[in-house]
Structure 1
């Protein structure tokens, strides 16, 4: 149990700015196994961000609450995944071969394609969240407990983070890492292949928030996986595999696909 706890702390330390206990001692083997807990870290990030949403929605407005939710998740993760999305947009938008793409991807400067990609992603995320249900159906008397009133919204917010962090984990297991791994912070992860049990554990954490909603919401897995597969094949076509930035971009794009899919399910199926 202590070993699993340390592996989990490695995942927290890798993906977020959340401080881990001072007694924790980093080991590379912990990080190599930590990807199975990425969805659990997503639950934590989503839960904290959703709490900010509830507070701001109560005292300000729904628009400001959504903005607070988005900014909180960015702050907690240190824009870890957003940075990957921007680098991927710059690299694949401005590069015309593998070598050029990888060179641009390593450049810390933000280019036009990266800026446009981030603005498009933020705008799409805001508008999709604005369309998601906030309250229970009107025929049901709202509770004084906001967690009851906003149950669907909160669980979908949390699930978006847990499921979108599971998609990059599956890419790690299936495809090759192609960047200069000696210079990459993702090197330990690229050398790690999880067991079937570890993948099941990751999937269990990923879908956990959806288990408290209608089973129809599990359908979001289909478009998310299709999107993940399309992105992975695109990366393989151009650079022969994935990089850490590709994983971050995958998380961001599949999170958007989750919101869109959940919105369609809520409106036309549930």
Structure 2
């Protein structure tokens, strides 16, 4: 329970008293990030289902994305913007890392945030409402599972300074990866109650795994490893991949 509370405090703006989890090793807490993603997706799903009858699904989809931003403090979106600024704004590995660490945002970062937000909103508006809520939960949990695999696939890219990235303290062992995978699979359960559940669930998982493969290759080529920003960016890309695949599935 302490580990779960620490994960909630790390990934969301939900106020959790520090003394409830102060003795927890954050490197181990990261294995529960998919469960928190499922919680985040559940809150967003409630917003979607509550507002769609009042305003119609397109507006409800926008309100749902805004609720996600408020709940998480745009935590992962910040990583996506930093990655785009660094990868395509710097020429050398060192320069890319420096740009990503800079608190200012550039053109690539702004465009990535606009594109990702619009795309997610359009996807939710295009999905059947009876399935959209379950896909939302699966995308939020599954995408955090995928980003959680990065520390097992790549070394940590930064060698200096402090970091808020818990995974950098150790390479995940088998137990860590099993718990991480189990946490992510739990968030897929809502899809299993909807037809055509197995095919849709498999399609979204394959889409997120493909996004992880692409992001791993990009990080290896640009940085030779991962950072906190690339973890957030990987989550965002995997989430969008799941939403786009679900839309293609129904169209």
Give the TM-score normalised by structure 2.
Answer: 0.92
Distance 1:76 1:64, change over 3 A: same
Structure 1 residue 219 corresponds to structure 2 residue 214: no
1:231 equivalent among 204, 215, 240: 215
Is 2:161 the partner of 1:177? no
Q: Quick one: distance in 2 between partners of 1:171 and 1:106? A: 19
2:237 is the alignment partner of 1:253? yes
Query: Is the alpha carbon distance of 1:242 and 1:56 closer, same or farther for their aligned partners in structure 2, counting shifts above 3 Å?
Result: same
List gaps (5 residues or longer) in structure 2. Answer: none
The answer to whether structure 1 residue 11 and structure 2 residue 7 are counterparts is yes
Q: Does structure 1 conserve the Cα–Cα contact (< 8 Å) formed by 2:33 and 2:145?
A: yes
Runs of 4+ in 1 over 6 A off after TM superposition: none
**More deviation, 193-202/257-266:** 193-202
Partner of 2:147: 168
Residue deviations 1:243-263, cap 9 Å, x none?
110011111111111011112
* TM-score, L = length of structure 1: 0.85
Indicate how the Cα distance of structure 1 residues 240 and 73 shifts in structure 2: closer, same or farther if over 3 A, else same. same
Gapped regions of structure 1 (runs ≥ 5): 135-149
CA distance in 2, matches of 1:201, 1:181: 33
CA RMSD of aligned residues (A): 1.6
Q: Does the alignment pair 1:67 with 2:38? A: no
Q: Does the 8 A contact of 2:36 with 2:141 survive in 1?
A: yes
Look at both structures and tell me which one has the larger radius of gyration over its CA atoms: 1
Alignment length, in residue pairs?
245
* 2:72 matched residue in structure 1: 77
Q: Classify 1:252/1:118 alpha carbon distance in 2 versus 1 (closer, same or farther; 3 Å).
A: same
Once the two structures are TM-superposed, the CA of residue 101 in structure 1 deviates from its matched residue by 0.1
Tell whether 2:115 aligns with 1:131.
no
